[in-house]
Structure 1
Amino acid sequence: MPVLTVVLALLSFVGPLSTDMYLPAFPRMAADLGTDASGVQLTLTAFLAGMTLGNLVFGPLSDRYGRRRPLLAGSAVCTVATALCAVAPSLGWLITLRLVTGFTAAAGIVIGRAVVADVADGAAAARLLGLLMSLTGIAPIVAPLLGGTAIEGLGWRSVFWTLGAMTALVAVMVVVGVPESLPRDRRRPRGARQLAGSVKEVLSDRAYIGYSLAFTFAFGALFCYIAGSPFLLQNVLGLGVGTSSVAFSGGAVVATVSSAVSARVVGRVAPERVLASGLRAMAAGTAALLAATVADMLSVAACLALLAVVCAGLGLVVGNAAALAIGRVPTAAGTGSALLGTAQNALGAVVAPLVGLGGSDTALPLFAGMAVCAAVAAGAGAWAPRANARRPRDKGKPPAPAEPSDYSEPVG
């Protein structure tokens, strides 16, 4: 299991690497490609839109054909598409290739969560997802630093050559380290009717919807920050490329540590309580950022401190919200994971260009978007435990040991 855990973490790296590594290049890309802030943010929107579609395709496919074959196909195509981004001759081509990259990168994330549901349950699944989030948190820490170094030395296109090499390595690790986790007797029948049945089964569980909305809008706040951070840190706060990369990585460090703490305490503290604490921190932090911006009191120190509060809350939210949501639908884990990722990335694709509509020299649209997303997430998280969904969490799945030894002491 340790090898599988590492490979699942590497699969989860592809998403944050593909978004965070080229963030420091946004101002230079805009100048080189002859566009503005909102235009270059469309490359991020395309990636997230691709991930949205990919979740809808790869999740149900993995329920029908098993986890391994769709995962191998997605990893291979993602490697090729990422490398082609490095030679894209125009903004239009780059947007198209980012769409393909996002579509295929979704395979690793959605199928990875389904694999967790195959091998763990309940608190064990929450601990494993928390561990994966803490390991995955290394990517947004390292990505902006690597990206900033590559950009200053070799230009923004070098970022995509580096990403291509990294995704190729992950594809090799999938071949070596991910066995089939879904036995044939637990696979879903083929056909549109069966797929519609799986979707209906998942969406009929109101608690699943509540936890999914909490997960989705928490990530919505993050995507607002991802899209707006290069202009916030460089244009509004006046930091250089290297310093802004370090500042962005600092927030990722906080989220990673928070995820590791969550993985440690789940089992002794109910996942619902940890989730609620994280959602409250996100709501308070984003509201304070918006208030400081409106009052024209947003200093560098205050901004970074409040962003740290938001990132700490996010680390407590993501693993627990995902585990609680997918745990509601264990007999359709692939579809449940797919819908979770679809909503997450669809919202990200919408908010990414919106935070740039006010121009590149203001933080007001960014923090307004983050505050709204965090407030919706908090409301959904508070409603979910009271949703009275009828389906028991372990229906259709053999009971798992209460304390599986493989995950009882997560690293972090």
Structure 2
Amino acid sequence: MTLRILILLGALSAFGPLAIDLYLPAFPALAQAFGTDIEHVQLTLAAYFVGLAIGQLIYGPLIDRFGRRGPLLIGVVLFSLSSLACALVPDLDWMVAARFIQALGGCVGMVAARTVVRDLCDPTTTAKVFSQLVLVMGVAPILAPVLGGVLLAAFGWPSMFIVLALFGSVCGLAVWRWLPETYPADMPRRPLGGALANYGRLLRDSSFVGNALAGGFAMGGMFAYIAGSPFVYIELYEVSTQHYAWLFGLNAAGFILLAQVNAALMRLRGPQFWLMRWVWVHFASGMALLAVALAQPAALWPLLLPLFCSIASLGCIMPNATACALARHGANAGSASALLGSLQFSIAAVTSAMVGALHDGSSVPLAGVIAVCALLALALTVWTASRD
């Protein structure tokens, strides 16, 4: 795989992080603009997760039937147009709808990126490449809140979505110019009519389901953090939007660093071995975070260390869980990738909504959701390993 393709796949995978993280500093501004509160603004985040979950199920069969490039170009155009619509919405209801459509377009980048990697790599190399993609796409959650804060201060919140529209347009041109079709020439195209049956076969594969859900609950904890951190940092502990961006970026940097450690570890043992080890680190961090939150410290700093360890450990968990889930499904990589992403973002939609639903004016709902997700990720990893 060439460096150009790796960077492009990273950019496509970054549609999700960018569309999520860029506008996080604007939650208070959006609440003021639409005459509501941050808990209701969180609905725009939940709508995006729902769109990601549904959209991936649609693109999977299309990618297996028509190849990787065509559906990818269509989705990128939809992402760019709906991003522009987000900048022009008159109220919160329209914003929720536009965010849902934006996700329907943007999710194709994640499905296609995972599928192209599976087309070109064996399972161990796949885990290594996914870790490298984290390095490329991981710049997004570090820079996005910082850029979002700058755009918010200089031009207002609509400018964030205009930037997303421009980013999508540039990626679409790059796909059209540089990304080859990677669908294996010797593999028959999957008929669209068999999509549901194909998903059914995948759901009966305990290794696929167990690894996908383990990664999904780990991801669910991360998106609970994304949904709840603006309140905890900015409102509860009165961190400025600029400092919030740097704290958010610090956790993202830990995620990237551990992903690169994971890529190096692939030279020693396979992804299943390391998944089992790192999921215990994630679990311990989640329990520690909940214990600190229940103590309701007067300062933010006691929460930062367990939160950092929890988010950073995902850099080792998510690439390995993805590689293990897709390992046996090269013949239907598009559908497997789509169902994987749909399961994971369905969980993310629920966990992000739960943080808002359980809101009690403290950090306990955020920490509690992360801890429960870590427990479920651990249980599923152990269960899957016992059956393999």
Q: TM-score, normalised by structure 2?
A: 0.97
Residue 261 of structure 2 aligns with which residue?
Answer: 261
Deviation at 1:189, TM superposition (A): 3.2
Q: 1:277 to 1:370 in 2, by over 3 A?
A: same
Residue 172 of structure 2 aligns with which residue?
Answer: 171
Residue 201 of structure 2 aligns with which residue?
Answer: 201
Deviation at 1:292, TM superposition (A): 1.1
Residue 375 of structure 2 aligns with which residue?
Answer: 375
User: What do the CA deviations read for 1:320-376 (whole angstroms, capped 9, x no partner)?
Assistant: 110110112221111111111101111111222221234473111111111111110
Q: Is the 8 A contact 2:78 2:105 kept in 1?
A: yes
CA distance in 2, matches of 1:191, 1:239: 50
Residue 227 of structure 1 aligns with which residue?
Answer: 227
CA distance in 1, matches of 2:192, 2:286: 44
Q: Is the 8 A contact 1:277 1:316 kept in 2?
A: no
1:333 is the counterpart of 2:319:
no
Q: Is the 8 A contact 2:31 2:38 kept in 1?
A: yes
Q: Is the 8 A contact 2:48 2:103 kept in 1?
A: yes
Residue 139 of structure 1 aligns with which residue?
Answer: 140
Q: Is the 8 A contact 2:288 2:306 kept in 1?
A: yes
CA distance in 2, matches of 1:36, 1:358: 15
CA distance in 2, matches of 1:53, 1:356: 22
Deviation at 1:382, TM superposition (A): 1.5
SS in 2 for 1:339: helix
Residue 104 of structure 2 aligns with which residue?
Answer: 103
SS in 1 for 2:331: helix
Write the letter of the residue equivalent to 1:8. L
Residue 406 of structure 1 aligns with which residue?
Answer: none
Q: Is the 8 A contact 2:359 2:365 kept in 1?
A: no
Q: 1:74 to 1:187 in 2, by over 3 A?
A: farther
Give every structure 1 segment of 4 or more consecutive aligned residues whose post-TM-superposition deviation is greater than 4 Å: none
Residue 361 of structure 1 aligns with which residue?
Answer: 361
Percent pairwise identity: 34
SS in 2 for 1:367: helix
Residue 69 of structure 1 aligns with which residue?
Answer: 70
Q: Is the 8 A contact 1:208 1:324 kept in 2?
A: yes
Residue 152 of structure 1 aligns with which residue?
Answer: 153
Residue 215 of structure 2 aligns with which residue?
Answer: 215
Aligned pairs for 1:9-48 (under 5 A) are 9-48=10-49
Write the letter of the residue equivalent to 2:153. E
CA distance in 1, matches of 2:135, 2:250: 14
CA distance in 2, matches of 1:313, 1:386: 22
User: What do the CA deviations read for 1:271-294 (whole angstroms, capped 9, x no partner)?
Assistant: 122212321121111111111111
Q: Is the 8 A contact 1:285 1:309 kept in 2?
A: yes
Deviation at 1:153, TM superposition (A): 1.8
Residue 78 of structure 1 aligns with which residue?
Answer: 79
Write the letter of the residue equivalent to 2:3. P
Write the letter of the residue equivalent to 2:382. A
Q: Is the 8 A contact 1:255 1:314 kept in 2?
A: yes
Deviation at 1:297, TM superposition (A): 3.2
Q: Is the 8 A contact 1:37 1:359 kept in 2?
A: no
Residue 400 of structure 1 aligns with which residue?
Answer: none
